[in-house]
Amino acid sequence: MLLAPVTVTPTKPLLPTHVKGLLWVDVLHRATQMVCDVSFLWNARLPNLTGQTVYFWDYLDRKIGRQDYAGLSDLEIGELYVQFHAEGVARPYAAIRPYMERVECEGWVHPASRRMLECWTEQLTQVNVVIPGFTDSRPLPMATDELVELLVRRRLALDHRRYGGPVYLDGTRWGMPLRPVISEEGQANYLLMLLRDLFPAAAPGRDVLLVHDDGLTADYVLVDRLLSVLGARVSRLTLGRVPINGTAQSSRRGGWDDVTLRTLIDECRQTFDLDTVRLGLRIYFIAMLNRTAADSFRWELLLRAMRRAERLIETAPDVADLVACLRRHQAPKAWVDPYRLTQSLMRSSTNPDRELLREVYL
């Protein structure tokens, strides 16, 4: 199975929606690889080839110039990201093309995003979230022109570049609108970059699991259809975003200073040991928020999850067959469902297997 979660642009701190996605993917990956072969597709170059990231880098270089970002926290860089969006000054694609070319050819990362990745890595290491390839930047295996030619040949894209126009993905056979992926200026968006990474990996007959948040559902339904035409067996896991104070707004608007992953870890570590924090975060973001719940982040529920985790760790026995336990919670497409597995962990009538905690949750 190929596990392909949506990547995160290294422009802001890890917020509840990001934490939820990373924890779901971590438990899913660790559990599923114990019952079947899993390849993990995460390319750190992919989010750096998006306008969202590169326009921010351009803003930093124009407004701030030379800066020792190594001395800034993820929160301070995130505040600059909010400031960038608040100013809202449009720039032509020609202004950022040199950045795109440098990322594409060299895998270059701006010092601000390099520092953000360092902060993320330190925090995720504390809670033992392992994302293979998290900081590995590799060239996208398919060139833009090669991908567009393949899609046009299969009548899945319209290429108007010869007339000075854009390139569209064509999902009209499935009742979907045309989706622009290359602008008239020649700027490719994240969806085209994603397909350049996915298509070579999604071999005919291969099971592919796409994990994404619900704000990207329309694009990922289209990706599902495109990969299926190639012969891959595709399933999707859609995760609801986590509102803050009742609003599931974009991170570019700010208002998240007290709910970053760094804050969650620091606050919980004042009362609980590290294993309890690791398990408690997974109980809260997987079992209590579940896949689609629209409940806002709530500190009191997170602390309740921490107390539950503390009791579970204290009472966990040794049980004989972990693989059999995991197989009971497999979805139809072979992957182990994190929600069902975590719910079973919390049932009052059973105590969790100590090996399950150690191998999947801690």
- Whether residues 64 and 81 fall in one domain: yes
Residue 277 included in any domain: yes
**Pairwise CA distance, residues 37 & 123, whole Å:** 28
Say if residues 169 and 181 touch (Cβ distance below 8 Å).
Answer: yes
- Whether residues 42 and 173 fall in one domain: no
* pLDDT score at 136: 86
Residue 223 included in any domain: yes
Nearest Cα neighbor of 43 from 78, 77, 10, 79 is 10
Counted domains in the chain:
3
- Whether residues 100 and 115 fall in one domain: yes
* pLDDT score at 123: 97
* pLDDT score at 293: 75
Residue 247 included in any domain: no
Angle, helix 111-126 to helix 74-87, in steps of 10 degrees: 130
- Whether residues 127 and 235 fall in one domain: yes
pLDDT in tens, the chain (362 residues): 999 999 999 999 999 999 999 999 999 999 999 999 999 999 999 999 999 999 999 999 999 888 899 999 999 999 999 999 888 777 899 999 999 999 999 999 999 999 999 999 999 999 999 988 888 889 999 999 999 999 999 999 999 999 999 999 999 999 999 999 999 999 999 999 999 999 999 888 899 999 999 999 999 999 999 999 989 999 999 999 998 887 766 666 666 778 999 999 999 999 999 999 999 999 999 999 989 877 889 999 999 999 999 988 887 655 557 777 787 777 777 899 999 999 888 775 455 577 888 888 98
Residue 244 included in any domain: no
- Whether residues 136 and 200 fall in one domain: yes
Strands 233-239, 207-213: parallel, antiparallel or unpaired by DSSP? parallel
Nearest Cα neighbor of 284 from 349, 350, 338 is 338
- Whether residues 218 and 269 fall in one domain: no
Give the predicted TM-score (pTM) of the model: 0.93
Based on the number of CB atoms within 10 Å of its own CB, is 121 exposed (0-12), middle (13-18) or buried (19 or more)?
middle
Q: What are phi and psi of 43, to 5 degrees?
A: -115, 115
- Whether residues 214 and 230 fall in one domain: yes
Say if residues 59 and 103 touch (Cβ distance below 8 Å).
Answer: no
- Whether residues 183 and 208 fall in one domain: no
Residue 151's domain comprises 142-193
* pLDDT score at 279: 96
Residue 217 included in any domain: yes
Residue 268 included in any domain: yes
- Whether residues 219 and 235 fall in one domain: yes
Residue 246 included in any domain: no
Q: Which two tokens stand for residue 176?
A: 């979907």
- Whether residues 100 and 235 fall in one domain: yes
Residue 205 included in any domain: yes
- Whether residues 104 and 146 fall in one domain: no
- Whether residues 219 and 285 fall in one domain: no
Q: CA 282: distance to chain centroid?
A: 16
Domain boundary among 182, 216, 239: 239
* pLDDT score at 349: 46
* pLDDT score at 251: 66
